[in-house]
Amino acid sequence: MKNKIITVFAIAAASVFLVNLLCLFKPFWLPFERRVYDIKYRLNISHEKCEEIVVVAIDEKSLLKLGRYQNWQRLYFAKVIDYLNNARVIGLDILFAEPDTLSLELRRYFTKPSYDSLLEAAIKENGRVVLVSSFEKPPIYTRFNRIGLGKVFADDDGVIRRGFSELFGKQTFAAEVAAFLNKRPLQNDFLIYFLDRSSFRRISFSDVYFRRVPQEFFNDKIILIGGTASGLFDYHAVPFTRKLAGVLVQANLINNFINNLKIDEIPYSFAIILILILSIIFAFLILYRHTHIYLITIIVIYLIFIILSFFLFSLRIELGIIRPTYILVCTVVIALIHRYRFEEKEKKKIKQIFSRYYSRELVEKVTAAPPKLGGEKVDCTILFADIRNFTPYAEKTAPEDVGMKLNRFLDEMVKSTFEYQGRVDKFIGDCIMAVFGSPVRVRNHAVNACYAALDMVAKAEKLGFRIGVGINSGEVISGNFGSPMRMEYTVIGDAVNLASRLEGVTKKFDCSIVVGAATYKMVMADPVPELEFRELGEVKVKGKEETIKVYSLSRRGAH
């Protein structure tokens, strides 16, 4: 048992170590993990409404009403900011990196008012405006407003999954909006909890500019102004879609910051403990259980693990499945290789042991369902067959003739044993011991032993010998016994000793076959017309305090 535990733990530990070593090479697992993560999002994307945040969208309608975006005057933004004077905070996801100017050709004909000063005045008047900046340049407006980095980082496959409150020591745009509301992010680097694009109320910029929306609607709201028109090219890939407007990405980040939302990641160290436990279970099942049992169990456990991962994601908890899957597959492969090598070694050992006792066909049955060589309790029938008066015969006959005739006799006895699915346990001089029902299970091993005994008696008579046969049934211990120098697969127990004593009883009653009560009861439970039993009475045998009832056996009609 100790060796089994060590083997199971060694296989599980080796699998965990090997896969973690391979996973140092991120392309081996990370791209696949990200794809599974995106599938989880598509299945679990939330459509809950976020009433706090309103997106004022520079959409196709706005471009149609106000003209090309590149020609927009900053007065448009000034007017919108003035109209939104009761909002909690206004975030402009628009980079104003250069002053607002006319082209050289238009300057010949038009005198342009200072739209930058108008916009700056509107920002000052409102006092609750946050603008985006870039790494290269801050916006030209910085005196009366906050600024934050508008950059969002995508993974190397181009998909935005992670959010940041700081980048290279600078506050991000979304974190700056949250800070204005006295909301501090719980951590800098996190998995974004996205809401569907329909979760945020969107109002066309032109509708706000032309004051078609009641001003009261924006009271105490977080307003984000940004582009959603496809011509503005401000779109990003996120887990549940490959085209989400940048302003909606920022809206999701702000929602995460102000409501302390995120996807919690289960530390990989905890996942390793879980997977190690599963690996130990898998290794044990594969090594020490039948194929159909471990296959079904492993499939069920793995499906439960996958379902658990998806269920946890619906609770905003991420449990990765690719590395754990690799570990489980590795465990299965290593365990199967070990089992195959171990089983082949065991089968070879069993074949070597049982080829001396069984016919080739029965040896194949034994190797298909190997017995426990260490010992197990079995119910079987034991037969002892001994030549009568063999010693006087051997003394009067030439040794060569004795050897030749004895070998011929034993060969016929072996054939009778094999014919009725028995096992030759051992030869004891001119006596043969045979076992029926172990290790190959036989439905009615007592009947088979009786038929084999009748066949042995008939063959012995043809060879000029008279034999005595003792048969008894019962529970014995079957296993490989002996010393490391010489082992022997045999059966031991009271039922074996009694069978040996019954062989000697044949002389007392002057009959060829004596059967014990246990064997008689087994045969008579489903009587065979061809077998005829006759009660001999009760006898006392060596090793038994009480007397036992015995029977003689003959073939019906043969006298």
- Rg (alpha carbons) of the chain, rounded to whole number: 45
What are phi and psi for residue 478, nearest 5 degrees?
A: -110, 135
Q: Residue 548 in contact with residue 539, Cβ under 8 Å? A: yes
Band of the pLDDT at 163, cuts 50, 70, 90? very high
CA distance 255 to 48: 12
Read off the DSSP letter of residue 239: T
pLDDT single digits (tens) 318-329: 999 998 899 889
Q: What's the first-to-final CA gap in the chain, in angstroms?
A: 56
**Percentage of the chain with pLDDT > 90?**
57
- pTM for this one? 0.65
> For residue 417, what are the CA distances in angstroms to 353, 382, 424, 445, 454?
17, 11, 7, 12, 11
pLDDT single digits (tens) 2-29: 677 888 888 888 998 998 898 889 999 9
pLDDT single digits (tens) 436-453: 988 778 888 999 999 999
CA distance 59 to 227: 6
CA distance 119 to 114: 9
> For residue 272, what are the CA distances in angstroms to 5, 15, 278, 400?
19, 11, 10, 72
Q: Is 329 exposed, middle or buried (0-12, 13-18, 19+ CB in 10 A)?
A: middle
Band of the pLDDT at 90, cuts 50, 70, 90? very high
Tokens standing for residue 136: 């290269």
Higher per-residue confidence, 343 vs 270: 270
Give the pLDDT confidence score for residue 369 in this predicted structure.
54
Reduce the DSSP state of residue 209 to 3 states and report it: helix
CA distance 533 to 511: 12
Of 256, 255, 251, the C-alpha closest to 228 is 251
CA distance 406 to 390: 10
Residue 362 has pLDDT above 60, yes or no: no
Which positions ≥6 away from 547 have C-beta within 8 Å? Answer: 538, 539, 540
Q: Where are the beta strands (DSSP E) in 396-547?
A: 422-428, 431-436, 467-483, 486-492, 513-516, 531-539
CA distance 126 to 146: 12
The mean per-residue pLDDT over the stretch 466-495 comes to: 87
Residue 386 CA neighbour count, 13 Å, CB half: 20
Which residues face 551 on adjacent strands? 515, 535
Which residues face 211 on adjacent strands? none
Give the pLDDT confidence score for residue 361 in this predicted structure.
55
Give the pLDDT confidence score for residue 109 in this predicted structure.
43
The mean per-residue pLDDT over the stretch 207-235 comes to: 94
Of 448, 453, 439, 464, the C-alpha closest to 503 is 453
Give the pLDDT confidence score for residue 110 in this predicted structure.
46
Q: Residue 418 in contact with residue 449, Cβ under 8 Å? A: no
What are phi and psi for residue 3, nearest 5 degrees?
A: -65, -35
Give the pLDDT confidence score for residue 374 in this predicted structure.
66
What are phi and psi for residue 266, nearest 5 degrees?
A: -70, 125
Residue 482 has pLDDT above 90, yes or no: no
Give the pLDDT confidence score for residue 455 in this predicted structure.
95
* Angle subtended by helix axes 360-368 and 322-354, to nearest 10: 150
Question: Torsion-angle region of residue 535: left (phi > 0), alpha (psi -120 to 50) or beta?
Answer: beta
Higher per-residue confidence, 308 vs 443: 308
Residue 104 has pLDDT above 50, yes or no: no
CA distance 249 to 237: 10
DSSP 353-418: HHTTTS-HHHHHHHHHS---TT-EEEEEEEEEEEETTHHHHHHHS-HHHHHHHHHHHHHHHHHHHH
Which residues face 434 on adjacent strands? 383, 424
Which pairs from 534-539 meet CB under 8 Å and 24+ separation?
A: 536/509, 536/511, 539/505, 539/508
> For residue 494, what are the CA distances in angstroms to 444, 472, 498, 501?
20, 10, 6, 11
Higher per-residue confidence, 371 vs 445: 445
Amino acid at 458: A
* Angle subtended by helix axes 291-314 and 322-354, to nearest 10: 170
CA distance 217 to 87: 9
Tokens standing for residue 298: 């492993």
pLDDT single digits (tens) 271-283: 888 888 888 988 8
Q: Omega before 99 cis (within 30°)?
A: no
- Please give the mean pLDDT across all residues of the chain: 88
Band of the pLDDT at 487, cuts 50, 70, 90? confident
CA dihedral 45, 49, 52, 58 (to 10 degrees): 80
